[in-house]
Amino acid sequence: MRKIFLILGVSLFSLEAAATTCTPTPDCASLGYKYSLEECGGAAIKCPNGDGYYCTSPLAKCNLADIYYSDKTCSSADNYDITKTVLGIVIYVTDGGLHGQIMSPWPIDKSGNKISSNNTAMQWGSFGATASTLPDYRSASSASTDYDSCGNTDKIVAAGDASTYPAAWATRRYAPTSETAGKWCLPAAGIMTNIRSNQIAIQNAISKVGGVEFPSCCTWSSSEYSNHEAWISTFNYSYGLDYGMKKDLRSVRPVMEF
């Protein structure tokens, strides 16, 4: 019994001594692993003792009506950085502002060139032109839930050429920078609802960068109402939406996902 007691005594003493010399494991954030995998855009190094990640270029978190720059950063209109190239105004956000859509501060013509007024307009499509894979939204409330701007545009341009679908093709020709060429889209109807709901802040941001005020009516969306009609923006109706004949002339503003 005496020998066992001595052994236990030594063991307890050893544990007590070890406890006094242990150092706590450093917190991941304090080591620089302070981002989520989503914030790093998927390219990151995971913290060895936790769930944090490290990356050299984390994604910016943007808010509605922020100004979005070509370096993939954003700022409020009050903090507009004139030294940077403006791509657009944030008009939709997801994932806490890590992703969303921006809209050009200017309308465009059929060739995809930015223009200085809302007077230039074009058809959504020729009479009866319809992208068969597009869903039809038969009410403003249902159309206001559609945010798939680029998915809609992909379907439209796949259905025909620029003479058949001028508005969608014009957005694909818009390229304010070489890096964004081919990435611009015709906005979905839900985007128009977002603009109406946040129009004061969005119009202020457009003004800050020297853009053209978004018109109260009428800008094409990529959301279809029927074979002959598509949804347009108008601040005078519920959800900021109405629908019009695709052969009518309306203005176009490209959007891009970030």
pLDDT of residue 23: 66
* 108, β-bridge pairs: 114
Q: Is 69 helix (H, G, I), strand (E, B) or coil?
A: strand
* Average pLDDT, integer, range 57-63: 88
pLDDT of residue 168: 98
pLDDT of residue 55: 79
pLDDT of residue 5: 39
- Per-residue model confidence as pLDDT tens digits over 142-163: 999 999 999 999 999 999 999 9
pLDDT of residue 6: 37
- Per-residue model confidence as pLDDT tens digits over 209-255: 999 999 999 999 999 999 999 999 999 999 999 999 999 999 999 99
pLDDT of residue 90: 98
- Per-residue HEC secondary structure of 175-211 comes to CCCHHHCCCEECCCHHHHHHHHHCHHHHHHHHHHCCC
d(CA 72, CA 62): 10
pLDDT: is 192 or 127 the higher one?
Answer: 192
pLDDT of residue 18: 46
* Average pLDDT, integer, range 25-39: 78
- Per-residue HEC secondary structure of 26-45 comes to CCCHHHCCCECCCCCCCCCE
pLDDT band at 10 (very low <50, low <70, confident <90, very high): very low
pLDDT of residue 2: 45
* Average pLDDT, integer, range 90-111: 98
Tell me what percent of the residues of the chain surpass a pLDDT of 90. Answer: 73
* Average pLDDT, integer, range 34-48: 80
d(CA 111, CA 116): 14
pLDDT of residue 22: 63
pLDDT of residue 108: 98
pLDDT of residue 181: 98
Say if residue 19's pLDDT is above 90.
no
Say if residue 1's pLDDT is above 80.
no
